Amino acid sequence: MPMTLVYAVIFLVGVSGNMLVCLVILKHHNMRTPTNYYLFSLAVSDLLVLLLGMPLEVYEMWSNYPFLFGAWGCYFKTVLFETVCFASILSVTTVSVERYVAIMHPFQAKLKSTRRRALRILITLWIFSILFSIPNTSTHGILLQYFPNGSLVPDSATCTVVQPLWIYNCIIQVTSLLFYVLPMGVISVLYCLMGIKVSLMSFGCDHISYLYLY
C-alpha cells in the first residue's frame, strides 16, 4: 500500500506536469522552438510510461501472477519501457549537444538549429530506440511453473526472462554502455567545456569593463 500511494502521487504529478508541457508547446506557436521539441519528446516518453507502464507495474505489485495479457502483452510492456528509456536518454543527450553548439558556435547554431531538423533528429532517435529495444524484448516471454511431478501450476504465468541469463546479461551490458555510460560521458564532457567557455567569456567581459573604467 505505501508503494501504491507513492506511485499514485508520481502518476498524478507526472501526468499533469507533462500534459501541461505538451499543451503549452502545442497551443502557443512561439513555443515551438527546436529545444522545446526535445522537451516535448521527453514529456511524451514520460506520459507513455505513466499512462501505459505504471498501471502494469502497480498491477504486478498486487498480483505478480498470473500475467493476464499473454505473450504479446509481455512483449509490449518490455518494449515500451526499453523504448521510452532509450528515447529519453538520447533526447537529453541531444539537448546537451544543441546547447554546446549554441554556446561554442553560436552563428552555426543559428543557421542549423531549425524545427525541421529537430523533427528529423527526434524521429531518428525514436526509431533507434525501438530497434535497440528489440534484443531485450526478445529475451522475455511467459514463464509457467510446474510441480515436481511435472504437472502445471495453475495461474502461474509470469512475464519474465525466458532465454538463458548469459544472453540477457550480455544485452544489458551492451545497452548500459551505449545508453548510460557513453551518454553520461558525452554530457559530462560537453558541460565541462561549456562551463570553461562561459567562465572565459565572463572573465573577458570583466577584464574589458575594468580597463574601460580604468
Among 142, 136, 6, smallest CA distance to 71 is for: 142
- Which pLDDT score, from 0 to 100, does residue 106 have? 66
- Which pLDDT score, from 0 to 100, does residue 212 have? 42
- Which pLDDT score, from 0 to 100, does residue 109 have? 56
CB-CB contact of 131 with 87 (8 Å)? no
- Which pLDDT score, from 0 to 100, does residue 214 have? 45
Supply angle C-alpha 18, 21, 24, rounded to 5.
150
Q: Grid coordinates in use for 166?
A: 548469459
- Which pLDDT score, from 0 to 100, does residue 107 have? 62
Residues 6+ apart with CB under 8 A from 18: 43, 44, 46, 47, 50
Query: CA-CA distance, 14 to 213, in Å (whole number)?
Result: 51
- Which pLDDT score, from 0 to 100, does residue 213 have? 42
- Which pLDDT score, from 0 to 100, does residue 110 have? 60
Residues 6+ apart with CB under 8 A from 38: 91, 94, 95, 98, 118, 122
Among 23, 69, 63, smallest CA distance to 43 is for: 23
Residues 6+ apart with CB under 8 A from 191: 96
- Which pLDDT score, from 0 to 100, does residue 81 have? 84
Q: pTM of the prediction?
A: 0.77
Q: Which residue has cell 522552438?
A: 33
- Which pLDDT score, from 0 to 100, does residue 207 have? 46
C-beta neighbour count of 135 within 10 angstroms: 16
Give, for all 214 residues of the chain, the pLDDT tens digit. Answer: 788 888 888 889 888 988 998 888 888 888 777 778 888 888 888 888 888 777 877 777 777 677 777 778 888 888 888 888 888 888 888 888 888 877 777 666 565 667 788 788 888 888 988 898 898 888 888 887 777 877 777 777 788 888 888 888 998 899 889 888 898 988 888 888 888 777 766 655 544 443 344 4
Q: Grid coordinates in use for 42?
A: 521527453
What is the per-residue pLDDT across 8-66, written as a single tens digit (0 to 9) for each? Answer: 888 898 889 889 988 888 888 887 777 788 888 888 888 888 887 778 777 777 776 77
- Which pLDDT score, from 0 to 100, does residue 112 have? 64
